[in-house]
Amino acid sequence: MKKVLFVSSECVPFIKTGGLADVAGELPKYINKENYDVRVIIPNYKAIPEKFKKNFEYKTHFYMDLGWRKQYVGILETELNGVKFYLVDNEYYFNGDRPYGNMHEDIEKFAYFSRAVVSLLPYLEDFRPDLVHCNDWQTGLIPVFIKDFARGCDYYEGIKTIMTIHNLKFQGIWDIKVIQDVTGLGDEYFTSDKLEAYGSSNFLKGGLVYADYINTVSETYAEEIKMPFYGEGLDGLMRHRADTLCGIVNGIDYSEYNPATDKYILHHFTAEDFRKVKAKNKKELQKELGLEVDEKKFMIGLVSRLTDQKGLDLVECVMEEICDEDVQFVILGTGDPKYENLFRHYEHKYPENVSASIYYNNERAHRIYASCDAFLMPSLFEPCGLSQLMSMRYGTVPIVRETGGLKDTVEHYMPEEGTGTGFRFMNYNAHEMLDMIRYAKHTYYGRKREWNKIVERAMAKDFSWECSVKKYEELYDKVLGIAVPVVEEVVEETVAEEEAAE
């Protein structure tokens, strides 16, 4: 039985701000329990709902060094969906009303969390992990601490680590002297081949240097981050570690996202009867949003954080042209005020064709997935993306830019070959996006039989966690089968790049 500890700063159903929480909550649930004992550890945030907290069982506590400080570490335990969860308890660090806040506070908070996770391992009864699976910058110091602790304690010898990048843009960067003070790590760790990057300390870089293996959330993104445009200053390191880097697309929970049983939609449907039933959901959504009720109208959905990363500057450039078409556009999300106000403006200008819900509501998101004809994701970069997977599950055809997980999961429609599950455009260009929207619209109106075949192929795709889990099990086996490497100096190329940029 292989023992794996999955470490995350958030996890459904306890606490969520983004897709990382879905991965932490779903992946361990689907891992083969006969071959792997996978347990999850997260912070015990004050913001976790009481209905979960009442089931947390106190196990033990101790005090650990954090730089020059002594800090309390409590260990709580619970079980959910057949998975055992540990929670690191410390009111000083986790007492806020949300997981993340000011970066200067988060830096110390997650330095504490990383060291606490490594320090508490000997306190876990009958569970010494063979592998610690770390996620994003908040856990980046864990591989560093494991290697550091192993120098003076045999317990840590041989524990392997995986570092998963969910979004390379977020790295946990702060002043070196502050990080040394907080972590207690010596000067030897803050060199250009370890935690130092461009004159600062970088949590994620530490994890990427010291982890035994690195993965990210799609095959294309794993290749993209080796290039300067996507590499966020770490592309040299990614190229250096290319032989221990892979991509695995995330899955979605097919029991939650299921048009045949979804509790949030009024008319259930399957791949066999969507032609007759799906349009009924469209009419219900049109009534709910105050749009013109017309089941034949081409409706595009967008459920997203309203930020530049999601390609909304492209939408802004051609929003008038989109609204001037024979199209309805339904938006759900929050983010940059300029985009929130943009969509509010067009809702006011075209009330029968544009709806802008500037908030997030899970029920409405489900109804958008189940009701729209197409789903727009023109992202500048998209490590994996989940919305396109959800939309295909509901027979809502994605229109996406060819990047990251969008390229890996959406197959472009090829009418001559009778293939494709959606529409893709390559360049980050507003009018190229607009042309693809028009191509999709003309296919919908003019070649409805072909459109329905695209829907059938999209709904037939399997992006459930069962598929992704098999690849993670293979990765775990691969990592547990390799020898523990000595941390090598990063190639001169990486160091030279960073020095040149300072």
pLDDT for residue 488 is more than 90: no
Examine the pLDDT at 491 and tell me if it is beyond 60. no
**β-pair type (354-357, 327-332):** parallel
Please give the pLDDT value at position 101. 87
Q: Specify the pairing of strand 57-66 against strand 354-357.
A: unpaired
Topology of domain 274-460 in CATH is Rossmann fold (3.40.50)
Query: What confidence score (pLDDT) does residue 492 get?
Result: 47
The sign one gets for the Cα dihedral 208, 212, 216, 222 is positive
Q: Domain ranges for the chain, please list them.
A: 2-251+469-501, 274-460
Give the closest residue to 182 by CA, choosing from 69, 62, 42, 64: 69
pLDDT reading at 490 higher than 70? no
Q: Per residue in 52-94, pLDDT tens?
A: 999 999 999 999 999 888 999 999 999 999 999 999 999 999 9
User: How many angstroms separate the CA atoms of 385 and 454, rounded?
Assistant: 20
Q: Is the pLDDT of residue 480 over 70?
A: yes
pLDDT tens-place string over residues 412-451: 999 999 999 999 999 999 999 999 999 999 999 999 999 9
Q: Are 408 and 218 in contact (CB under 8 A)?
A: yes
Residue 29, pLDDT above cutoff 80: yes
Give the residue, 467 or 39, on which the prediction is more confident: 39
pLDDT of residue 218: 97
Confidence of residue 41 (pLDDT cuts 50, 70, 90): very high
Architecture of domain 2-251+469-501: 3-Layer(aba) Sandwich (3.40)
The H-or-E segment that residue 74 falls in is strand 69-80
Confidence band, pLDDT 50/70/90 cuts, at residue 190: very high
Q: How far apart are the first and last CA of the chain?
A: 47
Q: What tens digit of pLDDT does each residue of 303-355 get?
A: 999 999 999 999 999 999 999 889 999 999 999 999 999 999 999 999 999 99
* pLDDT-based confidence at residue 489 (cuts at 50, 70, 90): very low
pLDDT at 44: 98
Model pLDDT for residues 239-269, shown as the tens digit of each residue = 999 999 999 999 999 999 999 999 999 999 9
Confidence of residue 497 (pLDDT cuts 50, 70, 90): low
